[in-house]
Amino acid sequence: MSARRIFAQPARYAAIAPYLWMVLFFLVPFGFVLKISLSQTAIAQPPYVPVFDFAEGWTAIKAAFAQLSLDNFGLLASDSLYISSYLRSLVVAVTSTLILLLIGYPIAYGMARLPQRWQPIAMMLVIVPFWTSFLIRIYAWINILQHDGLLNKVLLALHVVSAPVVWLSTDTAMYIGIVYSYLPFMILPLYATLSKLDASLLEAAADLGASPRRAFWLVTFPLSLPGVGAGALLCFIPILGEFVIPDLLAGSGSMMIGQTLWLEFFTNKDWPVAAAAAVALLVLLVPPLVLYDRMQRRQLGGAN
């Protein structure tokens, strides 16, 4: 028996405590979300009819199943508020991801082209804002975007505009906030693939007569596609459920599904509908998550 195998036994036991923790505080709670999304709304504390009573045994379980209803999902599917927030989440996530790609790609490309010893510093500079409070960074933008904020002052001083522009509480402000917050998530996977690119491929392209631009589109860009996919999904997935940024920066018009969930939960105190909205958001997340998992696996497979 090799040392590697002997080591594996105790290492396996190391996983027991975190495993139990994750089952109890991550997996089981989803069961509760699912259960409550299928239960009736009630004006009580907690504001839903308990569906299950283990003490009463099998009859209670049968009764509970008879009580389960898809009413909340029916509500989600029929009420235009939910459908529109579902759609808005998709639109915002797709649009933001595209903007992030357009802005993030040149930055990652610039980083990958830096002299070797500058690259870790540039990477550190990109990561640091990610460590700095996300709420504070959104708040910093409110300072800048408000009516008599810095942006309007600069624009007025430069005579770009003649009167202050309303930035805050618009979709523009929301997109600025989202792009700003998620930019490191886009840059890092892009940089990871771009910096690993074999420079000799570009030399070969140049030797064969390709202009730098042509070499970029024929060689660099296609080879960076795994990074593009990883970055896009890494941004797209959390933006779908975004709550804080649209709440602070977007107007009070149409909401994203995360905001709808929050509103149902805290303002309307309708827990079953909030739970149903959470399940709906999860369903929305399944395809991109599966795609991301598959891409990661393919990349790992390719590395071996």
Partner 1 sequence: MVRQVNRMSPFNVTSLALGLAFLYLPIVILVIYSFNASRLVTVWGGWSLRWYFEFFNDRAMLDAAWMSLRVAAVSATIATLLGTLAAVGLARGERFRGRALFSGMLYAPLVMPEVISGLSLLLLFVALNAERGFWTVTIAHTTLTMCFVTVVVQSRLASLDRSLEEAAMDLGCNPVQAFIRVTLPLIVPAIAAGWMLAFTLSLDDVVIASFTTGPGSATLPIRIYSEVRLGVKPEINAICTMVIALIAVLIVIASLVSKLSSSEGKSAAPL
Q: Per CB under 8 A, which of residues 18..57 are in contact with partner 1? A: 18-19, 21-23, 25-30, 32-33, 36, 46
Q: Quick one: which of 63, 70, 83, 125 contacts partner 1 (CB under 8 A)?
A: 125
3-state secondary structure of 177: helix
- The token pair at 172 is 């523009």
The answer to whether 93 and 85 have CB atoms below 8 angstroms apart is no
In whole angstroms, the minimum distance from the beta carbon of 80 to partner 1 comes to: 21
Residues 135-174 that bind partner 1 (CB under 8 A): 135-137, 139-144, 146, 148-150, 153
Q: What are the φ and ψ backbone dihedral angles of 224, each rounded to 5 degrees?
A: -90, 0
Q: Residue 69 or residue 143: which is nearer to partner 1 going by CB? A: 143
Indicate whether 11 belongs to the interface with partner 1 (CB under 8 A).
Answer: yes
106 class by beta-carbon count within 10 Å (0-12 exposed, 13-18 middle, 19+ buried): exposed
Q: Are 134 and 239 in contact (CB under 8 A)?
A: no
Stretches 3-11, 53-61, 68-76, 221-229: which one binds partner 1 (CB under 8 A)?
Answer: 3-11
Q: Which of positions 88-107 make contact with partner 1 (CB under 8 A)? A: 103-104, 106-107
Closest CA to 37 of 285, 261, 300, 295: 261
203 within 8 A of 219, measured Cβ to Cβ: no
User: Given candidates 129, 170, 171, 192, which one binds partner 1 under the rule CB under 8 A?
Assistant: 129
Contact pick of 82, 258, 270, 273 for partner 1 (by CB under 8 A) = 258
Nearer of residues 226 and 265 to partner 1, judged by Cβ:
265
Kindly report the number of other CB atoms within 10 A of residue 26's CB atom: 9
CB-nearer residue toward partner 1: 236 or 254: 236
Cβ nearer to partner 1, comparing 254 with 272: 272
Q: Report in angstroms how near the CB of residue 98 gets to partner 1 at its nearest.
A: 17
181 contacts 136 by C-beta, under 8 angstroms: no
- The verdict on 223 binding partner 1 (CB under 8 A) reads no
Q: Which stretch binds partner 1 (CB under 8 A): 55-63, 64-72, 79-87, 281-289?
A: 281-289
| Contact yes or no for 141/177 (Cβ under 8 A) | yes
Please compute Rg for the chain using Cα positions. Answer: 25
Q: Which of residues 173-212 bind partner 1 (CB under 8 A)?
A: 180, 183-184, 187, 199, 202-203, 206-207, 212
Identify which of residues 230 and 254 has a Cβ nearer to partner 1 in the complex. 230
- In whole angstroms, give the CA distance from residue 257 to residue 240: 8
Q: How far is the CB of 296 from partner 1 (least distance, A)?
A: 9
Task: Please list the residues that pair with 233 across neighbouring strands.
Answer: none
Binding of residue 121 to partner 1 (CB under 8 A):
no
CB atoms within 10 A of CB 113: 11
Residue 148 C-beta: closest distance to partner 1, Å: 4
